[in-house]
Amino acid sequence: MPFAIHATEAGMLLELSGGVTVRHAQELSKCVAGRLVSGMNVRVDSRNLEDIDTSILQMLVSLRRMAGTFVVQEASAAFVAAVDRCALRRALLSKDLL
């Protein structure tokens, strides 16, 4: 699986690696929803991410809206490029989120 979800003292850590695309969207959404509590702190680690598509970015924007805090740490070049291509920098990488 190109993602892993970990419970931490601070909330949830979502690790994305390899290619996370629309074929993973349903399973990823189901796994996140099963662990997410409204207002929970969420960190996303994409340092090992090589490809991500718009459906996953849209899911992350929705996740951000439900999270208490939402931080993308260790953003890979592929993650940043996809965010910029979709004009989602403000929604996903804004310093206001930190």
pLDDT in tens, the chain (98 residues): 899 999 999 899 999 999 999 999 999 999 999 999 889 999 999 999 999 999 999 999 999 999 999 999 989 999 999 999 999 999 999 764 44
Range of the domain at 81: 3-97
* pTM exceeds 0.85: yes
Per the structure, the count of domains in the chain is 1
CATH number at residue 12: 3.30.750.24
Hey, which residues does 70 pair with through a beta bridge? 42
> What's the confidence (pLDDT) of residue 30?
96
Q: What are all long-range contacts of 67-71, with beta carbons under 8 Å and residues at least 24 apart?
A: 67/11, 67/36, 67/39, 67/40, 67/41, 67/42, 68/11, 68/39, 68/40, 68/41, 68/42, 69/11, 69/41, 69/42, 69/97, 70/41, 70/42, 70/44, 70/97, 71/42, 71/43, 71/44, 71/97, 71/98
> What's the confidence (pLDDT) of residue 98?
41
> What's the confidence (pLDDT) of residue 95?
62
